[in-house]
Structure 1
């Protein structure tokens, strides 16, 4: 059934998926979130082709064009060495999305696995995993990330390590809570009676009941990972110049406030745009899948 037919059909005739899709596309904020996230992905992938000055993403200097205000020639103005801010923002999205993929690509599977084990086996396994999780959650996230980044050489890989070191905890707690609510259900008991292995029960019976919550949480987390990465770069402990990074650009532009406001405001708005997109998309998925995070 197509999306157009879904919109016309009575609610009682729709499948569960079609009803969920109708709720999602009937939410204007969710649709805006999709548009923003898709535009971010395309901007990152096509940056070398759509950036008006792709050479400005590297070690480029043009002091005759420094501190130019936003105009048709430079949509976001230029920075203190004459580089086009719009071009650097497009390339900066590449760094931000790489950070999201790197951090969540490790933190989500790790947190999900530990949450599954703690919720399913209970006993000493549950105690050990949840004790470690609670200890990590007690540490302020930004302080932990700053400590790790300060010890390691500041770059993109080490920023990923710093953020991943604490990000798995929230996914572990989320999955643990879901598993504890379904582990005593009849379908799990039936699988045990049928002689199913622990691996089968964990990954074929229990994990599918967690996927909705994991999907929503991961989408919402993407925006916060971008914010964390920008915060580390703003403090000089993330991606280093001349690599274009949104946090580094805000930090460099803050030195020239308020006269050259665009040098800090434009990359700041770019961070806001990315976070807004992922948050709207995550809220739309939460309403569509009807889950609590």
Structure 2
């Protein structure tokens, strides 16, 4: 009699593991709070034109009759110096911050991961060149490099993303390099090499899956830092330019009217705080879930 494998039965262990992971994650209150903040921010950014009361205020709109109005039922976060609704501009500003984090990490993480895999698996000059280049890049503060690049190029979203991504890959290279050095001496790697598996197979089918959890945790934590660096560039006038709503630019513009009109600077600043906090809490929850140890 032939053995017949029930597909549904084969999926039970996988579903069980997924359920266990979700149960463990849901038992962490701070992780759940972080996940809720991140999800709400993403949904708000996607549906900004439909959930904001004055979507036209995301552009070059001037209404001096309503300038410097404090928070109220009509304008939840108050209005700025030209009468635009700050709540609307904060929601649209989330789009810029999340796009910045997505593009920067979407570029830096894959590149840094590949460099770390290559440097960790291969010895000799390949490892030396990659890791010495990484060490040099790590010695440069990311914000200083971003300021230099953004100052040379014209300030806009594209150049801000380029400036931040220029050095961000190094952290992931260092992380994946350390993990690859530990994993490559394991028995299953030696078995794959004995069976004649290609280098590509070993790197991306054997080693990389064992690094995914640490990469996910690092990426989640990095989202908050990228948003803060992007807001810092905008605050200094080297990021997104008006009238495009950007949280850092709004904080800088509102600081000229402190303390009388505190809401113009505090509300977008509070949005930056909550968004960065959400990603940090989510990253801490993922680290506890996967029991990831910090690798230096």
Q: Distance in 2 between matches of 1:118 and 1:22?
A: 37
The answer on 1:172 being equivalent to 2:177 is no
Q: Distance in 1 between matches of 2:114 and 2:255?
A: 42
What is residue 110 of structure 1 aligned with on the other side?
Answer: 111
Shift, 1:19, TM fit: 3.3
Q: Distance in 2 between matches of 1:122 and 1:82?
A: 62
Shift, 1:16, TM fit: 4.4
What is residue 161 of structure 1 aligned with on the other side?
Answer: 162
What is residue 241 of structure 1 aligned with on the other side?
Answer: 242
Shift, 1:208, TM fit: 0.3
Q: Distance in 2 between matches of 1:172 and 1:273?
A: 29
The answer on 1:91 being equivalent to 2:55 is no
After superposition, residues 189-208 of structure 1 pair within 5 angstroms as: 189-208=190-209
Q: Distance in 2 between matches of 1:172 and 1:216?
A: 14
Secondary structure at the aligned position of 2:79 is classed as coil
Shift, 1:198, TM fit: 0.2
Shift, 1:73, TM fit: 0.5
Q: Distance in 2 between matches of 1:206 and 1:140?
A: 30
- Give the number of equivalent residue pairs: 280
Q: Distance in 2 between matches of 1:106 and 1:46?
A: 25
After superposition, residues 1-293 of structure 1 pair within 5 angstroms as: 15-293=16-294
Q: Which blocks of at least 5 consecutive residues in structure 2 are unaligned?
A: 1-14
What is residue 5 of structure 1 aligned with on the other side?
Answer: none
Q: Distance in 1 between matches of 2:29 and 2:164?
A: 32
Shift, 1:122, TM fit: 1.9
1:140-193 Cα distance to aligned partner (Å, 9 max, x none): 111110000001110000000000001000000000011011011000000000
Q: Which blocks of at least 5 consecutive residues in structure 1 are unaligned?
A: 1-13
Q: Distance in 2 between matches of 1:53 and 1:94?
A: 16
Shift, 1:18, TM fit: 3.5
Q: Distance in 1 between matches of 2:230 and 2:102?
A: 12
Q: Distance in 2 between matches of 1:273 and 1:212?
A: 24
Secondary structure at the aligned position of 1:69 is classed as coil
Shift, 1:21, TM fit: 2.3
1:192-211 Cα distance to aligned partner (Å, 9 max, x none): 00000000000000000000
1:62-114 Cα distance to aligned partner (Å, 9 max, x none): 01100000001000000000000000000000001110111011000000000
1:18-71 Cα distance to aligned partner (Å, 9 max, x none): 433222110011111111001001110000000100000000000110000000
Shift, 1:15, TM fit: 4.7
Secondary structure at the aligned position of 2:243 is classed as coil
Shift, 1:292, TM fit: 1.6
Shift, 1:129, TM fit: 0.5
